[in-house]
Structure 1
Amino acid sequence: MTVVLYTTLGCHLCDQARDLLLTVNQQIDIHAVDIAEDDTLIAEYGERIPVLRHGDRELAWPFGLLDIQALLSE
């Protein structure tokens, strides 16, 4: 299972999001996308990171373990 993590360098909340993901599922494949490399991504996610994407669903910060479990179960 792969989850996209929209992030940027030095984002401590993004580090927390990664830790939460790994708490829910240690085998999960996290594909980190640095939004700083793309103006379109900055416009879409700049104020909301960290954002998790699984399939066609997104989960923006703040979120917790139960939110991540729900995202991954659908």
Structure 2
Amino acid sequence: MPDPNSFSSVQIGPRSFLVTGDRAGKVHAVFNRCSHRGATPCREMSGVPKSFQCPQLPWVVSDNPVAGRGLSDTP
């Protein structure tokens, strides 16, 4: 990823994923869906957000989307 905490949105078939980079340089991939309501937390294609937030719930995911609540991590 080009910058710490940056992301890119990737579509694979019918599923949307967020590929993120953390401050340590690790790359993470998560489903771009709230695991509780199925809402899409991120509608942008790429960027450096301060957080991802479910539009229906107050759940916020910031530094590490895989460890956060609300987004589904990939196996």
Report if TM-score (shorter chain) is over 0.5.
no
Which structure features the higher share of helix residues? Answer: 1
* TM-score, normalising length: structure 2: 0.32
TM-score using structure 1 length: 0.32
> As a proportion of its length, which structure holds more strand?
2
Bigger relative contact order (CA 8 A; separation at least 6): 1
